Amino acid sequence: MSIFDDRAAEVLQSLPYLLQGLGVTISVTLLALLLGGLIGLMGALARVYGAAPLRAAAAAYSRTIRSLPLLVILFFLYFLGSDIYEMSVFTSMVLALGIHTSAYQEGIFRAGIQSIERGQSEAAAAIGMTPFQNFFTIVLPQALRRCIPYWGNEAAIVLKDSSLAYVLGLTELMRRGQYVISRTHQAFLTYLIIGLIYLILTLVLTRGLSYMEKRVKIPG
Amino acid sequence: MTKSIVSIRNLHKSYGKVPVLNDFSLDVYPNEVVVVIGPSGTGKSTLLRCINYLTPFDSGEIHLDGQKIDPRKTNLNHVRQQIGMVFQDFNLFNHMSAFHNVAVGLVKVKRVNRGEARSRALDELERVGMLQYKDQYPAELSGGQKQRVAIARALAMNPKIMLFDEPTSALDPELIEEVLAVMKSLAAAGMTMVVVSHEMSFAREAADRIVFMDQGAIAEMGSPSELFANPHKERTRQFLSKLGYRENERKDESDG
Amino acid sequence: MDDQWAFFLRILPELWEGLKMSMYLSVGALSLGLVIGLPLALVKTYGHGVLRFVVTAYIEVVRGTPMVVQLFMVYFGLPELGIVIDRVPAAIIALAVNSSAYQAEYFRGAILSVSEGQYAAGRAIGMSQGQAVLHIILPQALRIVIPPWSNEMVYMVKYTSIAFLIAVPELMAQGQVIITRTFRPMETLFWVGLLYVIVLAILSQIVDWIETRVRIPGYQSDRRG
Ligand SMILES: Nc1ncnc2c1ncn2[C@@H]1O[C@H](COP(=O)(O)OP(=O)(O)OP(=O)(O)O)[C@@H](O)[C@H]1O
Ligand SMILES: [Mg+2]
């Protein structure tokens, strides 16, 4: 048992150093969520409103991406990026994580859109809204509200998966943790702290979203 | 002869092989209230939904205010602005207050400026007696209140004609009257209306013409007094007696 | 094209070994996760007091932390406490711990979706609480849980790939070995990815088939997207 020797104190002293990795972790997460959200929303639109070939293509995309491990996508983009032009590992990670989550967000958005009763968009059409106005003022605002809890789960998964960025050498939380370990040889304690930081982040994220869910809840 | 507001000519519509509208033709004139009755599944809802092109049909023509609607050339969204529609199950926008339900069409579709949209929306809510509920959300309103807001929402677009598809049949009996009262006052104010409804009190009081629809076509048509007192066809007679029976039944309930 | 095909055939034996390891990890993690997760679900649903609190905390902590951290905790962290575990069992344990928390939630969801009246009817004919759960609730819940459980299976098979980070020779790791030897990363990853897609398509088919086999006649399970 070596948790409580001097080197343990060293680990605790490295906390500020570890926390500096938060910036990368959070920006990778947010950018990936945004990218995945955009692709996912377009995929959902294609699968709900698209013509048959488009629907099939979007479905095939989702099914394929859902079957691919994040690491496979990550390394593929990493090698592709370094093959074609100098793409930073940060970009590779955001792209990989964004593409990976897009398939799941597509499912979430699609379920949300399909859960809105047909009468809503019929009533909008009946007062002369264009399909575009109809979708953005009537269907989407209601669908997004219903998506929040599922989207929150997905966002937490993306946050946790962002830890895989360390394999490319991105100095986020996990990578910094490994530097701390190589100096202090305190893997247990270090991973415990890193685990705690992630736990706090996911809690803040999910609590924040459920607060938002309450805030935007339709009265009644 | 006066020009019709809506002219429906030789409408055909089928779902798969099942014909729903079978060479249906009808002209609706300014300030006229036409009440459509008929057995379930006979195509009444389909007819209304074809008039504003919510449902595409196989052949036939719709003329609005003397102009033929050609779905390939005419902007259907523009057509729908001029045809108000009230649904059986209200379809109020769930995420908007009563006020926003009425104002959204003015702001988004008619692109009226906010101040004017506001005062017009409030006017329409007042007209249906819902001004004091303007900030309530649909889930906070009773069925009758929802339907009145839905009527205000359609009226706000300043339509040339209003279509009602069984506007009271999803309502509890004690809420029906408040919606019918709004509709009667609309009729009295000269609104052109096509109303699918089996509320005989409304038909007697407000209708200029009753259309009895059967199997996708007009089986019989006439003024309320003619049609109710003296239906020509056996089919109409049967249907009316069934309706009368239902109406009596409800009266009995509310008396007891 | 011929070249690609020849390349694939050349690396196939190695990938095959990796695939077998991936399947081994998946089966191990999913079954161990089931063995841990189902009791957790029962405690969280029917238990109370400290036990229930501990289980709830376990589920929240596991679901709130990355799988890599859990894996490294088991493989690099535990040895410092004197618990040394080999790579493969370490990977299985870490993945199983992760899966147990998710499976517990899926089972709990399924249990809660079996209507209250079913349980009451069981008790009404004189069953104990345990009997009612065992004979009435679980047989229905286990059917309901199939679709979410199938998602969990797909998820696990995919995430066994992180075992490569502690040098378990599964599919991803075999791919990396081939890449360093051949310098043909794109082709290698393509074939690796394709193997995952094929395996998961087959597994999903099997689960669908099982779901139809055990479906209660006239009783539709609703399946999300
Ligand atoms: N979307 C649809 N797909 C297939 N069939 C339909 C569809 N909508 C309506 N129908 C069929 O068309 C026929 C006419 O339906 P419609 O709703 O117009 O009848 P209705 O006269 O309004 O009946 P009700 O009094 O019950 O409202 C019915 O047989 C119905 O089953
Ligand atoms: Mg109808």
Q: Quick one: closest CA in B to A130, which residue?
A: B77
Q: Chain A contacts of C22, Cβ < 8 Å?
A: none
Expressed in angstroms and rounded, the spacing between residue A102 Cα and the centre of ligand 1 is 39
C73 part of contact set with chain A, CB < 8 Å:
yes
C-alpha torsion B101→B107→B113→B117, nearest 10: -20
Backbone angles phi, psi at B26, to 5 degrees: -165, 140
Residue of B44, B58, B85 best suited for mutating to test ligand 1, as the one with most atoms within 8 Å of CB: B44
The residues in B 125-164 lying below 8 A from A, measured between CB atoms, are: 136-140, 150, 153-154, 157
What was the pLDDT predicted at C120? Answer: 85
Q: Are C32 and C92 spatial neighbours (Cβ–Cβ below 8 Å)? A: yes
Radius of gyration, CA atoms only, chain B: 18
Residue C78 C-alpha, separation from nearest chain A C-alpha, in angstroms: 6
Going by pLDDT thresholds of 50, 70 and 90, the confidence category of residue B148 is very high
Residue C114: inside a domain: yes
Q: Which atom in ligand 1 lies closest to the alpha carbon of residue B216?
A: 14
Residue C10: inside a domain: yes
Tokens of C178: 């081939």
Counting the structural domains of chain C, the total is: 1
Q: What rounded mean pLDDT belongs to chain B?
A: 91
Question: What does the alpha-carbon distance between residue A83 and residue B180 come to, in Å, rounded to a whole number?
Answer: 72
Question: What does the alpha-carbon distance between residue B58 and residue B24 come to, in Å, rounded to a whole number?
Answer: 12
CATH number of the domain to which C23 belongs? 1.10.3720.10
Q: Residue C208, exposed/middle/buried by CB under 10 A (0-12, 13-18, 19+)?
A: middle
Q: Quick one: closest CA in C to A80, which residue?
A: C186
B89 part of contact set with chain A, CB < 8 Å:
yes
Q: What structural domains does chain A harbor?
A: 2-215 (1.10.3720.10)
Residue of B35, B37, B46, B87 best suited for mutating to test ligand 1, as the one with most atoms within 8 Å of CB: B46
Going by pLDDT thresholds of 50, 70 and 90, the confidence category of residue B71 is confident
C78 part of contact set with chain A, CB < 8 Å:
yes
DSSP secondary-structure letter at A192?
H
Tokens of B219: 């089986």
Give the one of A119, A130, A142 whose C-beta lies nearest to B95's C-beta: A142
Count Cβ–Cβ pairs < 8 Å, chain A vs chain B. 76
Contact B80 A127 (CB under 8 A): yes
B231 part of contact set with chain A, CB < 8 Å:
no
Residue C209: inside a domain: yes
Task: Check whether C126 has a pLDDT greater than 60.
Answer: yes
Expressed in angstroms and rounded, the spacing between residue A108 Cα and the centre of ligand 1 is 32
DSSP secondary-structure letter at C218?
T
Ligand 1 within 6 A of CB of B105: no
Tokens of B171: 């309502």
B38 Rama class: left (phi>0) / alpha (psi -120 to 50) / beta? left
Q: What is the ipTM of this complex?
A: 0.91
How do residues B128-147 score in pLDDT, each as one tens digit?
A: 999 999 999 999 999 999 99
Residue C222: inside a domain: no
Q: What residues make up the domain containing C197?
A: 2-214
Q: What is the pLDDT along chain A (220 residues), one digit of tens a residue?
A: 455 567 778 888 889 999 999 999 999 999 999 999 999 999 999 999 999 999 999 999 999 999 999 999 999 999 988 777 778 889 999 999 999 999 999 999 999 999 999 999 999 999 999 999 999 999 999 999 999 999 999 999 999 999 999 998 888 899 999 999 998 889 999 999 999 999 999 999 999 999 999 999 998 7
How do residues A110-141 score in pLDDT, each as one tens digit?
A: 999 999 999 999 999 999 999 999 999 999 99
Q: Give DSSP secondary structure letters for chain B.
A: -PPPSEEEEEEEEEETTEEEEEEEEEEE-TT-EEEEE--TTSSHHHHHHHHTTSS--SEEEEEETTEE--TTTS-HHHHHHTEEEE-TT----TTS-HHHHHHHIIIIIS---HHHHHHHHHHHHHHTT-GGGTT--GGGS-HHHHHHHHHHHHHHT--SEEEEESTTTTS-HHHHHHHHHHHHHHHHTT--EEEE---HHHHHHH-SEEEEEETTEEEEEE-HHHHHH--SSHHHHHHHHHHHHHHHHHHHHHH-
What was the pLDDT predicted at C224? Answer: 28
Residue C225: inside a domain: no
pTM for the whole thing?
0.88
Q: Are C163 and C93 spatial neighbours (Cβ–Cβ below 8 Å)? A: no
Residue C219: inside a domain: no
Question: What does the alpha-carbon distance between residue B4 and residue A213 come to, in Å, rounded to a whole number?
Answer: 50
Residue B95 C-alpha, separation from nearest chain A C-alpha, in angstroms: 6
